[in-house]
Amino acid sequence: MEDLSNYRKSYEKSELLENTIPEDPINLFHRWFHEVEDFGGVEEVNAMTVSTIGLDGFPKSRVVLLKKYNEEGFVFYTNYNSEKGKAITNNPHVCLSFFWHSMERQVIIKGVAKKVSEGVSDGYFNSRPAGSRLGAIVSNQSEVIPSRTYLDDKLKELEQFYEGKEIERPPHWGGFLIEPKEVEFWQGRANRLHDRIRYKLASNYEWKIERLAP
């Protein structure tokens, strides 16, 4: 077994204090997102981990790309018939997490997923490059396939079929909106005494702000 106990780093790039944060977690997320983007060092700032409870009862996490966020929540797109899509349909309670190592920050979001409207999914699908649109049609996501060649051949067939034609969104592909119920902001600090601020949605739909022990 490889011993990694000597892998250590002191986190000292920033701080997270109650007197400098907004009342709404979306505003703080917006601030952090663009600070990380401006600071650099993260190739895809919108990459996030989506964790679900699968139909087999096991949790599973995978990285997807955040495509939109606002006061309603966080939106990403997928195949609704995929393992991820089926898991969310069966149990819409999910967790999103961002790890921005360049600024020693994490954001962890607990929320409830729901499908976005067909119009919203159509709009995003039509904004994608033609290859990505065809890829969404070619791939029966999460299904067992015989080979890579099988996928490549199917793509070539579709490229010929859709030449000069409009590529329409398949009905099983679209967006999920994650409506946040808890949002935790984690800022690395020295001596492992990290700052952890949690926004928790109360019954009156106002956000309760709490500091958690690191």
For the chain, the average pLDDT equals 95
| 5 in a structural domain | no
Task: Indicate the helix (H) or strand (E) that contains 87.
Answer: helix 83-90
| 180 in a structural domain | yes
Q: What is the CATH number of the domain that holds 105?
A: 2.30.110.10
Distance CA 157, CA 134 (A): 10
**Percent of all residues in the chain with a pLDDT value above 70, rounded to a whole number:** 100
CA dihedral 25, 29, 30, 35 (to 10 degrees): 140
pLDDT of 128 above 90: yes
| 22 in a structural domain | yes
The encoded tokens of residue 199 equal: 């926004």
The residue segments making up the domain with residue 104 are 18-128+171-212
Assign 2 a pLDDT band (cuts: 50, 70, 90): confident
Catalytic annotation, residues: 192
**For residue 75, which phi and psi values (nearest 5 degrees)?**
-120, 135
Assign 147 a pLDDT band (cuts: 50, 70, 90): very high
| 109 in a structural domain | yes
| 145 in a structural domain | no
pLDDT of 95 above 90: yes
Report the pLDDT averaged over residues 23-30: 98
pLDDT of 177 above 90: yes
Structurally, the chain folds into a number of domains equal to 1
Q: Spell out a b/e string for 177-202, using b for 16 or more CB atoms within 10 Å of the CB, else e.
A: bbebebbbbbbbbeeeebbbbbbbbe
| 7 in a structural domain | no
pLDDT tens column, 53-91: 999 999 999 999 999 999 999 999 999 999 999 999 999
